[in-house]
Amino acid sequence: MKNALKFSPLFLALAATIPPLAYADDETAKDGFFEGSSLKLHFRNYYMNHDIRSPKADDSKEWGQGVIGRFESGFTQGVVGFGLDAYGMLGLKLDGGGGTDGSSILPVSDGSGKAPTAFSSAGAALKMRAFDTELKAGDMFLTNPVIAGGETRMLPQTFRGVTLTNHSLDGWMFEGGQVSFEKPYNQSGMRRLTTMYGNLDGQSSKHMNWAGASWSGVPELTSNLYAAELQDIWNQYYYDLDYTYALTDSVSLNPGLHFYHTQDTGKALLGDIDNNTFSLHFAVAVAGHTVTAVYQRVNGNTPFDYIYQGDSVYLDNSQQYSDFNGPNERSWKLQYEYDFAGVGLAGLTSMISYSRGELDLTKVDPNSVGYGNWYNADGKHAKHWERDLTVKYVLQEGPAKDLGVALRWSANRGNEAYQAVDSNVDEYRVIIDYPLDVF
């Protein structure tokens, strides 16, 4: 069949690790299709000011209102239950004309300098559950270390494909899937898969396969292991380990590790890739105060890359503006967070951080199909730093409970060698979120 799903040997081998179906204690059939259903609305007002400080560059400023509706049914009664998930999204332009478009909040204009006044999308997925295993096919929201839909703009990113999840073993979650299309967070329609940093010159990947396992069998200790294949571009593998140790009721320690290995595969549409990227963090929390130190390193002559607009960059030094993921980049971060609940202001939180990185751009292959634009003969010591500040308040009670307002500011500056690949930027964001459970 022309449109039949095709799974790679890598995916089939990984999917084979998912345990067989296991019987549950009637949990799979107790709710019913309508009894277990929910409808949630999310209103998000988003302003972004992308103030480029480098010469001969245009700023981008956009303001929009987003509405997201998500319906999730329960499952029909019986050993095998069936259900339906559906969503609808609407984005409205409040401001973004006169050549100030392009901040990524609204769709890219047709060259007039004005984004469309509105854009929308909708999708649905059929789902089937038997015992501890759920199969879903259609349009869906995904969140894992190798393919996570972008959630950092006015509307979220979605994907079209098939997923399988299993919870047979206590403390374990197994999953696998394949997607062939993605809906960008600032567009209406679906498109084939591309990457965030690679130059595919109009090409794309036909699908992405993945499989993975999450473990939380010990209190305060979690670990994830994933593998993915972006057809004709890369095989990517991920591992993490995170542990929180409570010294007292108010003092805790949190060490952690994230690691990615990326290797080109198939037709290698982005050229040769052999990249190992990791980050280490250590956090100390004391009575509402949290201080975190991070070290991150990219070993490879290409940047650490991921799905276009996605959030599948589970690295500790991925910041508001920069991911600190350039070729051969070494970076560190110091971050301070405070929860004002300790002084009677529940719902008010703040974060401030400083990150610094250094890249060697001379080792990049200037003839690389996908990443040659990173080459700079004078980029032996390309350096940049970023400051980030976030203040957020969420109402804890009353008619507008859960209404949240976040103010975010970021400044990224680089030396002359770094500005060959990126600009100096100040970025301001004002985000108002109001989630509402209809039923």
Give the pLDDT of residue 30.
56
C-alpha closest to that of 434 among 87, 123, 65, 187: 65
C-beta neighbour count of 155 within 10 angstroms: 28
Residue 110 counted as domain residue: no
Question: Cα–Cα–Cα angle for 207, 210, 212, nearest 5°?
Answer: 170
Number of domains observed in the structure of the chain = 1
For residue 404, the cross-strand partners are 394, 433
Quote the CA–CA distance of 98 and 101 in Å, as a whole number. 8
The pLDDT of residue 53: 83
Of 88, 80, 210, 75, whose CA–CA distance to 142 is shortest?
210
Q: Give the CB-side neighbour count of residue 61, counting CA atoms within 13 A.
A: 8
Structural domain containing residue 296: 126-437
- Is residue 87 in some structural domain? no
Q: Residue 299 and residue 315: Cα distance in Å, rounded?
A: 14
User: What would the DSSP string read from start to end of 206-241?
Assistant: S-EEEEEEEEEEETTEEEEEEEEEETTTEEEEEEEE
- pLDDT computed for residue 4 by the predictor: 42
Q: Within a domain: residue 70?
A: no
Q: What is the mean pLDDT of each run of 10 residues along the chain (439 residues)?
A: 47 51 46 92 96 75 96 95 97 80 80 80 97 96 96 96 96 97 94 95 95 95 98 98 95 98 97 97 97 98 96 97 96 98 95 97 95 95 97 94 97 94 94 96
| pTM over 0.85, yes/no | yes
Query: Rounded to whole angstroms, what are the CA distances from 233 to 66, 237, 269, 382?
Result: 33, 14, 5, 27
Per the domain annotation, does 75 fall within a domain? no
Judge whether 210 lies within some domain.
yes
Is 262 a member of any domain?
Answer: yes
CA 270/CA 204 separation, integer angstroms: 10
Q: What is the pLDDT of residue 96?
A: 77
CATH number at residue 395: 2.40.160.10
In a domain, 208, yes or no: yes
Beta-ladder partners of 256: 242, 281
Query: Has residue 331 been placed in a domain?
Result: yes
Cα 76 to Cα 174: distance, rounded to the nearest angstrom: 23
Number of other residues whose CB lies within 10 A of the CB of residue 332: 19
